[in-house]
């Protein structure tokens, strides 16, 4: 049994999809959200990063990420990254998304998750600050926009991972 290579993009279904399209089947479209999110595992935990358009306080939204960010992540990731290397790589990938996608936010937010600790680095980098501010300014009266519903679901740790346990691919 042939096992596909780890990582990267597979073109296995391109011929099938082309044949189906010629037969009149319209493939699904995609929606560009302009959000860039990157996550990676480092030696002691996980580093998550997002542009400011994808974040709301400590919450990172689950949206699409740009090809520029993916190319940085895939070309520079290595096993055993340190915390600092992980933050640096995630930040570089998010910057690539910001610079190459007009819909992305302008700042880099990072979250570092280690055993028993979560650290939020809000506005960790400000690579593309806004330089124009409207002379009229903006004034929104509190309560002007109706909130239809609010649901906050706290995350709970499910268990402990021991050194010998590994995720299956």
> b or e along 96-107 (b: 16 or more beta carbons within 10 Å of the residue's beta carbon)?
bbbeebeebbeb
Of the residues 33, 35, 36, 150, which is catalytic? 35
Round to whole Å and give the CA distance between 51 and 69: 11
35 catalytic, yes or no?
Answer: yes
Under a CB-based contact definition with an 8 Å cutoff, are residues 112 and 118 in contact? Answer: yes
DSSP β-ladder status, 55-56 and 45-51? unpaired
Query: What residues are annotated to the active site?
Result: 35
């Amino acid at each position: 049994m042939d096992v596909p290579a780890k990582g990267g993009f597979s073109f296995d279904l391109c011929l099938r999809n082309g044949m189906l399209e010629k037969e009149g089947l319209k493939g699904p479209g995609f929606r560009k959200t302009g959000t860039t999110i990157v996550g990676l595992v480092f030696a002691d935990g996980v580093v998550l990063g997002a542009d400011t358009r994808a974040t709301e306080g400590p919450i990172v939204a689950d949206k699409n990420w740009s090809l520029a960010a993916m190319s940085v992540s895939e070309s520079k990731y290595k096993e055993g990254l340190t915390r600092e290397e992980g933050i640096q790589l995630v930040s570089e990938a998010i910057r690539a998304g910001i610079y190459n996608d007009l819909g992305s936010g302008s700042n880099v937010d990072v979250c570092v998750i280690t055993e028993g600790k979560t650290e939020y680095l809000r506005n960790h980098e400000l690579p593309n600050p806004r330089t124009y501010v409207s002379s009229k300014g903006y004034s929104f009266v509190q309560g002007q926009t109706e909130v239809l519903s609010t649901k906050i679901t706290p995350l709970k740790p499910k268990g402990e991972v021991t050194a010998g346990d590994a995720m299956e691919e």
